[in-house]
Structure formats: C-alpha cells, structure tokens
A and B are shown apart, each in its own frame.
Chain A
Amino acid sequence: MAERIGVYVCHCGSNIAGTIDVEEVARWAGANLEDVVVAKDYKFMCSSSGQQMIEEDIKTHNLTRVVVAACSPQLHERTFRRACQNGGLNPYLFQMANIREHISWVTTDKAAATEKAKAIVAAAVRRVRHHKPLEPLPVQVNPRTLVVGGGIAGIQAALELADAGYPVILLEREPSIGGHMAQFDKTFPTLDCSACILTPKMSEAGQHPNIKLLTYSELEEVSGSIGHFKVKIRKRARFVREDRCTGCGICVEKCPTKVRDDAFEAGLGFRKGIYIPFAQAVPRIPVIDKEHCIYFTRGKCQICGKFCPTDAIDYDQKDEILEFEVGNIILATGWKMFDCTRIPQYGYGRLPNVFTALEFERMCNAAGPTGGKIVLRDGKTEPRRVAIIHCVGSRDINYNEYCSGICCMAALKFGHLVLEKTKAEVYSFYIDMRTNQKGYEEFYQRLLEEGMKFVRGKVAEVTNADRTEEEKGRLVVQVEDTLTGRQRRIPVDMVILMGALEPQEDAFELARKVGISCSTAGWFTERHPKLDPVATMTDGVFIAGCCQGPKDIPASVAQGAAAAARVAGLISRGTVWIEPIVASIDEEKCSGCRICNNLCPFNAIEFDPVKQVSRVIVALCKGCGTCIAACPAKAITGAHFADEQMMAELEGALWDASEEALAAIVGSKSQQELPVIGA
C-alpha cells in the first residue's frame, strides 16, 4: 500500500521565510515527491492552529506519515509528535526536516537555501516512508535522588528534595560537605560571614532524616536511565568508624604528624595526619591521611587509636562499594581554581608574596591559618601596598576564553578587607569591571569611595627585579594603563591572583559516566542555554551550580533549588515514558564475538554465556548507536535509525544529483539490469 504523506513547511515568522521560498518548497514537494498527498506552508507550525491543521489533515486526508519542515527537532519534535498522536497517528510515523538551523540561519543566498530546503524535505519524505510505529516505554520513577557534590548548590538541592519528603543521597568526595563556600570569609556584596550563613544549612543536611550523607565517597559507575538509575559509589576508607566516633577530636590533637593542607587551607595552613578539615565540618568525623600517617607509612605509631575513647579508629578499614537505585541524578560538582603556576610571568610559586585568591580567602578567614590577619608569606609583616590582578587564566585565549564571572566582585571584596584590616593601599588591575547583579555596582562605588585604586590594563609581569630604590625588595607590577596610555611599574608588597574558575579535573570522566556532554572547556552542557538551564540532554540527569559554568553563590543556590524542583516534578508524576528508540540484537546473526560488550556507555548490553550471544537490556538502552556502529556482524539494529531509514534519507537528500552520481552512492550494489550483448 502506498503511503499518504503530509508535508508542512513552516515560515517561523521571517526566520525561515525570510531566506527560503517556503511556498515554492511546499508546492514543489506536493508536485514532485512520491506519496505526498498534502503539502502546505504556514506561518507558525508550532502554534496551536498549526498543530490543529496537522491533526485535521490526518483525519480528512487519511495521512499515514507526516513531515514538518521547520526548526531543530530538539525544539519541536515532541510538539509535532503530539499533534500526530492527537490526529490518531502513531507519533513515530513523523519526521522533522530542520530547515532553520541547518539552512535559513546559516546562509543569505535565497536561491541556494530554497534548493537545499527541497533536498532536506525530500530526504525526510523518503525516510519517513520507512518509519515503523513505536510505543514509548513506561518507567516508574524511584523517588530517591542522588546529588553529586556537597557544595552550596548540592546542599540546596538536597534540602529542597528532603524537605519535600523525598529521600536523597548526598555524595561528597571531600571528608566534609560545604564546598568552596566553606573556605570563604565574607561573601560579596553584603559582606555577611560565609560560614554563618552556610553552616546552618550544612548541619541541617547532615541531620535531615531524608538525607543520607556519604562523604569521602565518589561516584564509580552509573547505569540505567531516568526513573531507575543504578549507581555504584566508592566509600573510601576513613579508618575511623562512623558509628562509634563522637567527633571529640582527641585523635587530631594527639596526632604527631603535621601536613600541609592543600585542600581546605589551599596550601596556606597545616593539618594533622588524622584530621577534620575544619571546625564546623559535617560530618564531624576525622579521616586518616594514609599517605602521611606515620603508622601507614612506617608501620608504627597508632597514637590516635590509643587515645580514642570510643575505640573508633579502624586501621584495617577498606574502601566499600555501595550500590543504590535512584530515580534522578543532580550533578553539583562545582569548580576548581586555575593553576596559577601556568602563567610564570606572574610569579606564583616562585615569588613568595604572590598569592592565589583561594589562599587569600583563607588568610582573611578568622578561623584560617593567620587567624584572619593579612600578612606576607613570612607570617608577620603587614603589606603596605597590595595588588589584585584580575582575569588570571580567564578572558585569555592562551588559557580560558570565558569570563569567570565572579572574580571582579571577589577582588572588590578583597580590596575592602585589606582596607578594613590594614593600612595598606590596594590596586586593582582589571580589564573590564563586571558588576552586573543586584547590589554589585553599588559595592564597586563603595570601593571607589573607600579609596581602592583601579588601573585598567592587563598585567604584563610581576617581578622582583628592581630598577629603583623604591622597588628594592618589593614586587613590581608592570602594566600598561590603558586609560592613560602609559606603561607603569607599581611596586607592591603582596600580589593576589584572581585565578579563573575551571571545570573539575574529572568533569569529562563524570560526564561520560552519567552520559551527558561537556563544553570543550569541561562545563556540563544544559539542555537549553536559556529555557532549560538545569536539565541535560539525558533525561533524569540535572546540573546545578558551577559545574555548568562559573557563577556566584545566589545563582548556584537558585540552580540547586531549580534542579530539585524539576526532580520533584518527575517524582510526583510517578511514571515517565521513555523513547522506544533502542538497539536490538538479532540472536541469529550475533556470533558472540563480544566486541560490543564493554562499549555501551549505559551498560545496557549483557552477554548470555549459555547461548553465546549478546543482548540489549531495553530499559537501560538509550539508543545512542555505539554498539550498532561497532558490531562487525551487523547483528544490531537501532529502532528509528535503521539502515534503510538512513539510506533512504541520503537518497532523498541527493534528489537533484545526476543519475550516475546517485548510482555511485546508493545504487552501485543493486543488481540493476544491464544491457546484455546479443549472441
């Protein structure tokens, strides 16, 4: 039976119709393409009247297939599938031709655009003929959610869900939750104490009956999909039994080992061989640093064990692998600071009085290594002049092109703290001052009034090579002041580098584990940059906070809450329907070679050792096609992406190619009747 295909060409206002002759495309499709019985153009196909047109045409013209030529399927495939369904057609008997992102937005050549639009429509028409009706698969949503990362964004997300009555696993790889915010002294622009606003949330998360806190733990493996992810978590050995420890801290007090603390104290302070990262840590359970502990390195000591009143020290503790099923995953894994030694001309690591922003945060903190005193590396001298260099590793094509967003405000905050706590002068070396949130510009004005000095220019170098008496024994900042057009050399005592916010080292690996994508830098990619900022292209995986891109605390908190709201919506719905676009293995063709076995990013392939064939676990398969491409026996096919569908699409796209060219690409293997010479 011949198919009856309806073709609808969208103007998208002038987005498409401004470049493509949409009437001509519709007319041409109706006149030239096989099986097309209706071909129309319309101002906005996604409007309710556009959808209604499809629904009515399906009924009046008995359409068996529908093609809409409009925008990207990412935007409106669901809309038109629903319209097909409302018209009584299986939603998968629909195909979308993207003539906006792929054509009208990328050219100004109207004639060429119209011709290409015809080819793309022809491709969709050819393809849709091979579509098969599919039924979406129902999945029950497990109400438990995994939140990865216990910084402010993750804490917020966990609390929102827990308060709504849903169970949450909050995963943190450091010994305590709190994240970077716990390291800060003050927060801009209100200057409220970071710890004072954060620690209540931390302890709430630690004590909440609906939150299972797993610190010093990392995500090992994720399988499954929305509603029923299976996650494996490695709970690293603390060598302290959580069920016995009371957090009294006597073990820390008695431990004879002192180690530089590169994590919480950013290398500025020390901790013990057994330690609690900071006073308000949650949970307040110490961890033995196996690499530095005397017992673990030399086999003797065990002082902590001897002093522990509850016998909680367990030197034989092993890493544990815990497995959970969760319905949704929220990633809030934050950021790491740019390694300032990568810019050697700024002297970090070589010139002692060059500090990173994180070191300075710790220095300002009353609970930090200097007790809140702003002093040089010698620990006692107060600086007379402090330089703050912006955009260290940001807005720089050699490192990161993006703006880290928060450094201008943090620099102003630092300026304020220096002016408040010392008699020093403060210079800010900025490229552009970016203060575009609520209260930020006012804070900048305040610092101008407080006497912070601003030099607009990118610092060329920080050096200790003095040229004048005044420079002797000090650091010199060499900079072009772009407002006066002069080179300046400014002698200072202390330099603070506002290092860029960078994605976590293992962002790509984590993205691969959960099946989402990253920008080239390593920030997780949201489903839509404006309209869907906390969802990802993988259903059931959400992102919040700086792992999506640099942002300040209010934005991180808002995203944490937003992600939680999205998850809560899915949980309360109970059942979600997942795309039936999955791979299947023909057991006859499968030789059990096992090439595909460890390829599946979703662990959806299992091997049957009895029948010696591989098999797809439908509930886990996301239809990505990795195994289909890799199968050397071509035993695997993908629903909705079968070879005949894609080959037909190619044939359609080449509609105006010469017969020979067409034959060279698709027809060469077909055994056409060739002229045979006579006897």
Chain B
Amino acid sequence: MSGPSATWSVENKTKPKLALYWAASCGGCEIAVLAIDEKILQVADHFDIIFWPCVVDGKVRDIEKLPDGAIDVCLFNGGIRTSEQEYMARLLRQKSRILVAFGSCAHEGCIPGLANLSTREEIFNTVYRDSVSTDNPTKVVPQTETEVAEGTIHLPLFYDTLRPLADVVPVDYTLPGCPPEAENIWEALQAIMDGQLPPRGAVIGKQTTVCDECPRTRSEKKIKGFKRIWQVIPDDTTCLLEQGIICCGIATRAGCGAKCPQVNSPCIGCHGPNEGVEDFGARMMAALSSVIDSKDPAEIERIISEGIPDPVGMLYRFSLASSLLKRSRLPRRQEKAEAGQPQMAMAAAKG
C-alpha cells in the first residue's frame, strides 16, 4: 500500500524511519531530545524523521496509510489521558517496529498521573470552574461532541484515569527520567543506530539505585524525624536521608549520575523503580518505616505525620499511575464506565 502522499517517506529505503510523539506530558521530553546538542545532526543524518508534530509538519492520515512496522523507532513521551492519545498510541504501536516509552510520563504516568487522585469531573471543575484565574461565566466544559452551524465538531474523550503507555500498548523499551538525561538519550539512540539493543522489554538504565552513583557518605540509618527541604540546609557530605531529608535515591533507578543529591537536593525519584520492583511508593514506605528510630507508636505517628504531610505526592510523585493501586477509588457508577473506556475511546477517536 502506498498512497501518493505517503511515498515520500517510504521511498527512501536507505535510512531508518524515526517518529516522535507527545501525549500527556509537559513537553520537556521534546526539549530533552534537543539537549543532545549538535549530535541531533547525527540523528537527523542517520534517521529519516517521519513524524514529529512538535518540530516538523506531518499528518496522522499519512501515518495511517503506512504499512505496519514501517517506522523503525518511535519515541513516545507522555501518558494516555484522552481517546486521541490512546488512538495515537495504538496507531504508532502498529506502525513501529520499536516503540520506546520515552520519559517518566510514558514510563509511569509522572506528574499528570497524580491527577488519578481525582475524577474527570473534579479535574474539570478545578480547571474550568473553580480555580481563581478561571473566568467561565457559562460554565463551559469540554464536550466530545458539539453542534455548531457548520455541523458536529469533536473533541477527544478525557478519561478519568491516566495510564502509562505500557498499560495501553506493548512497549519494547523504556527510557526513564523526567526528562531523560541527554547522555542517556544519546546512548540509547546510539544503541539503536548500532543495533546494540538490550533484550526487548528492558528499561534502558542501570540495575541499581541512585545511591550507587551518589558520592555522599552513608552509614547505618536511624531517623528521629523527617524534614522538608526548606527547613534545613543540609551538609554536603552526609547522606541526605540520614539528615532527615526524604531522598528517594535509595529506591530510584540509577543512571542520572545522582545529579540532584550532588547539589544538596534530594532525589525525587524521576527515574522510577529499580529492576523488578512492582511499586515504587510501597518500596519507599517499607524502607523509610524500617529506619524510623522509635518504638513508641505515638512518636512514630508524629514523625510520619509531621515529616511526610503528603505521602502520595512525595513517594508516588512519578509512579502513582503505574502503582499497584493506580488511582483513588472511583465512585461506583463510574467504575462501570471506566471498564468500558477503551471501546468508547476508539469510537470517539474514529468519529
């Protein structure tokens, strides 16, 4: 199959095809690709960039017309929040030989995934009605279908739940980080270019945690109280956790070079869990609770409530959408609708 408008990309057989896509994410990952600096020219040299809506013009219908597997590599950033994103995820999966979940949002949901603590209705109310900067006298909220003089216009369906890419389509590789570090992106791209890829399904990164790369001195841990970062100026040689600052480096996959702890800022966990870990936040909780230095339940309660006022935001900052619980409980009537979500999604996207 080769429609006239798709031939421009399929004709050039010598270069592998690269696509990049941006779903529910901030856009930082797009910029991160450019952080490899002048090496982007080598990338452009090596690949035929077939689809990158942020940077070059391209049409979804051109992608739809490609044969399956025509794209060699697709770097997909962002989680799946809308029917359109789900459609694009499925489309790019079908057309790509290698689909890479690029960055924390695609990997684990990241900050957008924290909205899984709310329902669609609550999110819409905050964004379109309740926030102080909103001026919406007629209380308009997005509708999937709107009748106008010219006919019916469509918007994608906004789901109650944000899902990481791998919960929607099979993913071949994951590049962690918020955003992934330039050197890791470059290494991954080089590996792809050289055909030196790890086994399918791998997270490209190390199999240990940030402490491994952190130069701070670590001792046995006994913590009498947790401190927020504005409460203390940490010394720059001792393990931050031992100073009472919640540093997620203990549980976070290494590969970043421990950048944050090196500048006196605790690791917040953007590289996600280490190999084989089911639930990042649960690991953090188990680890932290193990080193609280008290046997008195009341004191332990105080240490936790004073030091960790927002456990989800602190320990599931990046991973809520991929955690074992995935989201807060939906009201019952909505659970049914949620179960039927993929079908509705496709209907809306196609319509």
Q: Give the one of A590, A595, A632, A643 with max B CB within 10 A.
A: A632
Contact A598 B222 (CB under 8 A): yes
Considering only CB atoms, which chain B residue lies closest to A643 in the complex?
B276
Considering only CB atoms, which chain A residue lies closest to B274 in the complex?
A633
User: Among the listed stretches A290-298, A491-499, A668-676, which one makes contact with chain B, having 4 or more residues with CB under 8 Å of it?
Assistant: A668-676
Contacts of B263 in A (CB 8 A): none
For the complex formed, measure the closest distance between the CB of A615 and the CB atoms of chain B, giving whole angstroms: 14
Contacts of A629 in B (CB 8 A): 286, 290
Considering only CB atoms, which chain B residue lies closest to A599 in the complex?
B290
Q: Give the one of A591, A595, A635, A668 with max B CB within 10 A.
A: A591
Instruction: Tally the A-B contacts, defined by beta carbons under 8 Å.
Output: 115
Contacts of A669 in B (CB 8 A): 166-167, 278, 322
**Which residues in chain A, 629-660, are within 8 Å of chain B measured between CB atoms?**
629-635, 643, 660
Considering only CB atoms, which chain A residue lies closest to B201 in the complex?
A671
For the complex formed, measure the closest distance between the CB of A85 and the CB atoms of chain B, giving whole angstroms: 32
Contacts of B241 in A (CB 8 A): 593
Contacts of A679 in B (CB 8 A): 64-66, 68, 91, 94-95
Cβ-defined partner of B170 (8 Å) among A612, A633, A673? A673
Cβ-based interface call for B228 (8 A): no
The answer to whether residues A594 and B220 also contact, given A634-B275, A634-B283 and a CB cut-off of 8 A, is yes
Interface string of A557-598 (1 = CB under 8 A from B): 000000000000000000000000000000011111111111
Contact B167 A668 (CB under 8 A): yes
Contacts of A597 in B (CB 8 A): 220-221
Cβ-based interface call for A279 (8 A): no
Contact A634 B274 (CB under 8 A): yes
Q: How far is the CA of A590 from the CA of B207 in the complex (A)?
A: 9
Contact B209 A677 (CB under 8 A): no
Chain B contact-residue range equals 35 or more
Cβ-based interface call for B152 (8 A): no
Contact A594 B170 (CB under 8 A): no
Contacts of B66 in A (CB 8 A): 679
Interface string of B268-307 (1 = CB under 8 A from A): 0000011111100001101100110000000000000000
Cβ-based interface call for B51 (8 A): no
Contacts of B169 in A (CB 8 A): 674, 676
Q: How far is the CA of A599 from the CA of B287 in the complex (A)?
A: 10
Chain A contact-residue range equals 20 to 34
For the complex formed, measure the closest distance between the CB of A678 and the CB atoms of chain B, giving whole angstroms: 8
The answer to whether residues A588 and B208 also contact, given A632-B286, A676-B169 and a CB cut-off of 8 A, is yes
Contact B65 A589 (CB under 8 A): no
Contact B208 A677 (CB under 8 A): no
Contacts of A660 in B (CB 8 A): 339
Contact A592 B218 (CB under 8 A): yes
Contact A634 B276 (CB under 8 A): yes
Contact B286 A589 (CB under 8 A): no
Contact B212 A591 (CB under 8 A): yes
Contacts of A592 in B (CB 8 A): 211-212, 218
Contact A677 B250 (CB under 8 A): no
Q: How far is the CA of A596 from the CA of B273 in the complex (A)?
A: 18
Cβ-based interface call for B219 (8 A): yes
Q: How far is the CA of A377 from the CA of B177 in the complex (A)?
A: 78
Q: How far is the CA of A591 from the CA of B276 in the complex (A)?
A: 15
Considering only CB atoms, which chain A residue lies closest to B248 in the complex?
A632
Cβ-based interface call for B29 (8 A): no
Contacts of B212 in A (CB 8 A): 591-592, 612
The answer to whether residues A595 and B291 also contact, given A629-B286, A671-B170 and a CB cut-off of 8 A, is yes
The answer to whether residues A591 and B208 also contact, given A643-B276, A668-B167 and a CB cut-off of 8 A, is yes
Interface string of B82-103 (1 = CB under 8 A from A): 0000010011011100000000
Contacts of B291 in A (CB 8 A): 595, 598-599
Cβ-based interface call for B19 (8 A): no
Cβ-based interface call for B249 (8 A): yes
Considering only CB atoms, which chain A residue lies closest to B213 in the complex?
A591
Considering only CB atoms, which chain B residue lies closest to A607 in the complex?
B220
Q: How far is the CA of A588 from the CA of B95 in the complex (A)?
A: 37
Cβ-based interface call for B10 (8 A): no
Interface string of B175-209 (1 = CB under 8 A from A): 00000000000000000000000000100000111
Q: How far is the CA of A633 from the CA of B170 in the complex (A)?
A: 25
Cβ-defined partner of B283 (8 Å) among A588, A607, A632, A673? A632
Cβ-based interface call for B115 (8 A): no
Contacts of B274 in A (CB 8 A): 589, 632-635
Considering only CB atoms, which chain B residue lies closest to A679 in the complex?
B64
For the complex formed, measure the closest distance between the CB of A637 and the CB atoms of chain B, giving whole angstroms: 9
The answer to whether residues A595 and B167 also contact, given A589-B208, A633-B250 and a CB cut-off of 8 A, is no
Considering only CB atoms, which chain A residue lies closest to B249 in the complex?
A593
Contact B284 A674 (CB under 8 A): no
Considering only CB atoms, which chain A residue lies closest to B322 in the complex?
A669
Interface string of A302-343 (1 = CB under 8 A from B): 000000000000000000000000000000000000000000
Considering only CB atoms, which chain B residue lies closest to A626 in the complex?
B290
For the complex formed, measure the closest distance between the CB of A651 and the CB atoms of chain B, giving whole angstroms: 14
Q: How far is the CA of A14 from the CA of B91 in the complex (A)?
A: 61
- Kindly list the 6 A-B residue pairs having the minimum CB-CB distance in the complex, ordered from nearest: A632-B251, A591-B212, A591-B211, A630-B290, A632-B287, A593-B211
Question: 25 A-B contacts, Cβ less than 8 Å apart?
Answer: A588-B207, A589-B209, A589-B274, A589-B275, A590-B208, A591-B254, A592-B218, A593-B287, A594-B239, A598-B220, A599-B290, A599-B291, A607-B220, A631-B287, A633-B208, A633-B250, A633-B274, A634-B275, A635-B274, A669-B166, A669-B167, A669-B278, A676-B93, A677-B91, A679-B66
Interface residues of B (CB under 8 A from A): 64-66, 68, 87, 90-91, 93-95, 166-171, 201, 207-212, 218-222, 239, 241, 249-251, 254, 273-278, 283-284, 286-287, 290-291, 322, 326, 339, 342, 346, 350
Interface residues of A (CB under 8 A from B): 588-599, 607, 612, 626, 629-635, 643, 660, 668-669, 671-674, 676-677, 679
Inter-chain pairs besides A633-B208, A634-B277, A671-B171, 6 sampled, C-beta below 8 Å? A588-B207, A594-B219, A594-B239, A632-B287, A633-B209, A633-B211
